[in-house]
Amino acid sequence: MSAAILSGPPAAQALLDEARDRAARLPHRPELHVVRLGEDPASVSYVSLKERKALEVGLGSTVHALPDTTTQPELLALIERLNADPAVSGLLVQLPLPAHIGSGAVLEAISPEKDVDGFHPVNVGRLWTGDAALPPCTPAGVVALLDYYRVPIAGRWAVIVGRSTIVGKPLAALLLARDATVTIAHSRTQGLASLTRQADLLVVAVGKAHLITPEMVRPGAVVVDVGVNRVGLSKSGKARLAGDVHPDVAEVAAALTPVPGGVGPMTVAQLIMNTVLAAERLQAGERVTELVSTAAMS
């Protein structure tokens, strides 16, 4: 038995094609604005990829490249200006931030309607209550990948290894909304292998290379590997990447995402889709902050 490979690029392209079609039906072109502080090579490369994908599907894209000496008040003032700009559909601040800037205050300053990363507490809360929200990109990308390959979710037992606010917790909310039975495991979970062996759908996002080995996987399970770990250099001098799942799991699982080339492309594609979703909702006059204010007053 050898697992079917759930490749990310074709699924990501399908999501981008849908984003392009939906954006073309809007009266105004959606605009994605990304704020980047400093010149960290990884951040520069990742922001450039986001900009390129936005332009490929017909969105506008602007990168606000600020020095890493930018103060928190200066950054918050820029966010406030972009929040108020009706031409801006989606807004994100590239993480990580310099040590002198509090990421919590920055993320909360972004308007929930424009929070295409899906990290604002309002969007997090609405995700868990089942209300319309802009979802975090990686978890939503995982669900889109499963849908593309027609992997059943409803009625399945999903085990998520990893409880981060970026992947594990929001993915649990998304899978619950799709009628999966969800268990979250983490670094303090006792008897991890006995738990993962029961999963129909196993998602691993912990950042530990080859944590999940074949004997930890139920034969016939679908395994999604979100982990990306640098484990040395290749012969060409490039960083070698490994997932959280050992490659030999392919001999046990029914389907498996590769690393790289699995979930990674879905994250960027979902960001583009979130920008279109934000533009659609703003065009329809849906204002999350107004809904929250009204609820608080009632």
Report whether 228 belongs to an annotated binding site. Answer: yes
Report whether 163 belongs to an annotated binding site. Answer: yes
Question: Rounded to an integer, what distance in angstroms lies between the CA atom of residue 60 and that of residue 51?
Answer: 9
Reference 98, options 166, 34, 37; nearest CA is 37
For the question of residue 238 being annotated catalytic, the response is no
Per DSSP (E only), the strands in 46-132 are: 60-66, 90-93
Element (H, E) at 42: helix 41-56
For the question of residue 244 being annotated catalytic, the response is no
For the question of residue 13 being annotated catalytic, the response is no
In residues, how long is the chain? Answer: 298
Distance of CA 179 to the CA centre of its chain: 20
CB 142 within 8 A of CB 266: yes
Which of 115, 117, 200, 225 does the annotation list as catalytic? 117
Report whether 231 belongs to an annotated binding site. Answer: no
Report whether 142 belongs to an annotated binding site. Answer: no
Tokens of 195: 């738990």
Which of 94, 115, 225, 244 does the annotation list as catalytic? 94
Distance of CA 217 to the CA centre of its chain: 24
Reference 59, options 272, 217, 295, 287; nearest CA is 272
Question: Rounded to an integer, what distance in angstroms lies between the CA atom of residue 104 and that of residue 102?
Answer: 5
CB 244 within 8 A of CB 207: yes
Q: Which residue has the tokens 């929930």?
A: 112
Please give the positions annotated as active site.
50, 94, 117
Binding residues: 162-164, 228
Binding residues for NADP(+): 162-164, 228
